Every structure is written in structure tokens, then in C-alpha cells.
Amino acid sequence: MDVKREQFVKRVSEPVPGGTPVEKAPDPELGYALIPAERYTSKEFMQLEWERLWTKVWLLGGRSDDIPEAGDYICTNIGKESVLLVRQRDGSVAGFYNICLHRGNRLVPEEGLGSVKDKDGVFRCSYHHWAYSPKGKLLHVPDRETFPQGAPPCGRVRPIKVEEWGSFVWFSLNPEAEPLRDYLGVIPEHLDPYHMERMAWTRDVTVEWDCNWKASVDAFSETYHVQGIHPQLKWYLDDVNVQYDCYDKHNRYLIPFAAVSPRVSLPSIMPPLFAGMMEAAGMDPAEYEGRIDGVREALQKFKRENGAAQGKDYSALNDDQLTDDYHYTIFPNVSLNVHSDDVMMFRQRPHPTDPNKMLYDIWMFELVPEGEKWPERVPHQHFRHGDKTIGQVLDQDAFNLPHVQAGMNSEAFEGLWIGDQEIRLRHFHKTLGDYLYGHNGPGEGDI
């Protein structure tokens, strides 16, 4: 069934965490121009992104509760750089480049979690054993007298900015970066009510994908592709009546879950995915006697009435947030599917040198009911696309993306022809352009 244009709910305005959608035309400032394919394929553009984007913005580094004690650290990479984010004695987190001042060795060879508690309280470079404090200060040079020029005068590895918000650790390679809260804009106001600090890891996966990092951000920024590659979801969510909001840098859409797409007729029996949602909430689908299109509201009512008894405090959330997918892009590379009981987030990272490759991190968290034991942290997994399944829906997205990237590299493909349902892609590219070229956008000869 084709959907009429006016059925789409478009909104590109007020920062209201919940509430009633207001219909508005898309922001005409975003225009209708083709988005050049070279943004996804060119090495020069990739280099520009490195100089003017990745080294300027705030980036997601890891999870706060992974480094609870002084000396615990997260080692994470962005492009060609690797950084160490280390819990300090005063409870703050300090960050510095993961390099040794002697001959450049990485102080920690691999991404992951660790603690200097097991290493005499220092980062000791494995090559010649130069030692650094948990703040990155150079503490010891073996055979120091054999360096007549002395130790490097800086005395420490170059620091980076680190802040915490939302149970996550963030960092910026930009010494001039604004405070994290200013960068995040409306995001904390919108997401604090979910209390992500009450959620525990359920999945921590990194997959190597053969596409540009933006192709992945795009894939999670519109529901237009649901009828294309996720046809089964038409009996799970409403891919048409979606509210879009574009803020300063970031954007979101709100997708009704436990809803049937207007592209198909209302089924007479309960769709299995609806039943699954009811069971997850503690309802018995066999006992439900209402209409299929009443399930979403029934779920909201049930969760509102029974949440507290289940140890789940939903008091800061509106009714829609009890069922729906509030999906945010925290510019540039974090996509979050936020739900009342879980969060599924993706961190999309560029390959150090190849615009046709990326790292796709899947981080999933689930609300731990009050009084229940905090579960063990899940181990991190790293594999290549296709080596393992990442779940049916994400497999469908993942299968598609290398082909998108291949097509974008064709000389016959000039650029992305974006429609209203893809307004977040346009907004994303506008923000990207602001970082790369300033507010006047690309000039003559720019991509």
C-alpha cells in the first residue's frame, strides 16, 4: 500500500522530551540539494573530517561503571589515535594519548579495559619500561643518565579533555572544546529521565564493516527502509507516523512500537512481536481481549500500573516512552535507541585510513530492577561482518551496507537523493558541513 505524503508527521523544531507531535514542514534551510557521493568515498574528504570534525567534537569513550576504582582505565581508538581514560583518586577521569614519549610505542597495545593496580600503579611501556602515572606524567626513565639532553621537557603525555554524563565517559581531542553539557545541548534533558545508570551491559560487540561510517549513521536515521529491508517490522512498529526533531547538532525520531504500519492492513490475530513485547512487560497475551490496535495503549497502561511493583521506576517517563523507540543521534557518531527498559546504542567509527571501512560498535544495556543483583559485565567481542549474526534486524542492515558503499563508488552515482522521511540525513550533513566549512557551507570546489 502506498502512503500519502500528508500521512507523514514531520517536525523539525521544539525540544520537547515527550508530548504531542506538532506537524510542521521540513526546515527549508536544509534545502533539497544532492548530497555528494564523494563525502562517503573520498580520501581527501576523510582527511578533512579528521582535521575539522573528529579532532574537534566530543566523542563517546566508554561506560563509567567499567572504571569504578582509581587506576581503572578504558583504552579506546578513534581513527589513527588511541586514548587512555583513567579513573583518578578523586573520582574524576583523566585522559591522555596512548603513546610513549620515548619512541612512540602504545602504552596499552589493544583497545579494552584494564587497571594499573595490577602494574605497580603505573603505565609501564613494554619496550624500554618508561613509566607513567595514571594522569600520564612521566615518572621513570631507566638509565636516565644515558640521556644527556634530559627527559622530554613536557614531562607528560599530551592530555585530552574528559567528562562524564549519562553513565558514559566522553572525551575530546580538542583542547578548546566547549564543556560537554554545552555540546550535548538538549540531550541530557531528554535522556536523563531514562536513568541509564540503572542499566547494565547486555552486549558489547565491535564489527568491522565495509562501508563509510556515515552510511551506518544514515541507516539508523530513517524508517523509510523498513518497507524495503525489514518487512517483518511492519507488524511491530509504525514506520510512517514518525516524529522527527532536528536540534542544533543532534536529532531524533520517535517511532511508535507495538503498532502496525499503515502500509499493511490490521491483522486479526496478535502479531508474534506484539506478544513478545507483552510478555517482556509481564502481561499475558492470551488474556488480552482488546483490539490489536489497542495493544500499545494497553502496554503503556500496564507498565504504568505495574512498573513500581516490578522494581522499575518509570515516573520520569511519559506514556509513549513506555513503549516507543526514542531514537537519537548524538552528533557525529552515536545512535541510540532508547526505551524504558533498555538502550541499544551504536558508536560508528571511521577506519584510520580507508573511507570505505568502519568500526561498528553495538552497546546494549538493560534496566536492572531495584533489589536485583547487578549482573556480570558481558565480555567484549570483535569480528568481521558476516562472521557472526548480530540479530535479524541488524543483520538486514549490515548485509545491505557494503553494497551501498560499492554503489556510491560508481562513477554513475552522483549523490544521495534525499526525501522528507530522510530529513535527519540532511540535518546531519548540514551539521557536518558547518564543522568542515563553517556556517556558510561548502564553497566553490568543496564537496
Binding site for ligand FES (CB under 6 A): 100, 102-103, 105, 125, 127-128, 130
Q: Could you give the string, one character per residue 396-415, with x where binding to Fe ion holds by CB under 5 A and - elsewhere?
A: -x------------------
C-beta closer to ligand FES: residue 105 or 174: 105
Complete edge-to-edge strand list for the sheet that includes strand 138-140? 123-124, 131-132, 138-140
Task: Report the alpha-carbon distance of residue 385 to residue 349 in Å, rounded.
Answer: 15
C-beta closer to ligand FES: residue 83 or 359: 83
Q: Could you give the string, one character per residue 358-397, with x where binding to Fe ion holds by CB under 5 A and - elsewhere?
A: ---------------------------------------x
List the single partner that 397 binds among ligand FES, Fe ion, none, CB under 5 to 8 Å by kind. Fe ion
List the single partner that 125 binds among Fe ion, ligand FES, none, CB under 5 to 8 Å by kind. ligand FES
CB of 230 to Fe ion, least distance (A): 5
345, 335 contact by CB (below 8 A): yes
C-beta closer to ligand FES: residue 142 or 267: 142
Three-state SS at 131:
strand
Helix (H) or strand (E) holding 363: strand 358-367
180, 170 contact by CB (below 8 A): yes
C-beta closer to ligand FES: residue 132 or 220: 132
C-beta closer to ligand FES: residue 140 or 181: 140
CB of 391 to Fe ion, least distance (A): 11
Q: Where are the alpha helices (DSSP H) in 312-446?
A: 392-408, 423-437
List the single partner that 403 binds among Fe ion, ligand FES, none, CB under 5 to 8 Å by kind. none
CB of 237 to Fe ion, least distance (A): 11
Residue 325 binding Fe ion, by CB under 5 A: no
List the single partner that 291 binds among ligand FES, Fe ion, none, CB under 5 to 8 Å by kind. none
C-beta closer to ligand FES: residue 101 or 177: 101
Nearest of 325, 367, 379 to residue 196 by alpha carbon: 367
Residue pointed to by grid coordinates 567528562: 163
CB of 393 to Fe ion, least distance (A): 6
List the single partner that 325 binds among Fe ion, ligand FES, none, CB under 5 to 8 Å by kind. none
C-beta closer to Fe ion: residue 45 or 213: 213
C-beta closer to Fe ion: residue 162 or 394: 394
Nearest of 201, 172, 204, 216 to residue 348 by alpha carbon: 216
List the single partner that 207 binds among ligand FES, Fe ion, none, CB under 5 to 8 Å by kind. none
Q: What is the DSSP letter of 325?
A: E
C-beta closer to Fe ion: residue 63 or 214: 214
DSSP letter string over 195-237?
A: -GGGEEEEEEEEEEESS-HHHHHHHTS-STTHHHH-GGGGGTB
CB of 226 to ligand FES, least distance (A): 51
List the single partner that 128 binds among ligand FES, Fe ion, none, CB under 5 to 8 Å by kind. ligand FES
| Count of residues in contact with Fe ion, rule CB under 5 A | 1
Residue 222 binding Fe ion, by CB under 5 A: no
Task: Report the alpha-carbon distance of residue 436 to residue 230 in Å, rounded.
Answer: 34
245, 22 contact by CB (below 8 A): no
DSSP E strands, 68-212: 72-78, 81-87, 93-97, 112-115, 123-124, 131-132, 138-140, 159-165, 168-172, 199-209
CB of 108 to ligand FES, least distance (A): 12
The Cβ of residue 76 has, within 10 Å, a number of other Cβ atoms equal to: 24
97, 76 contact by CB (below 8 A): no
Residues forming contacts to Fe ion in the complex (CB under 5 A) are: 397
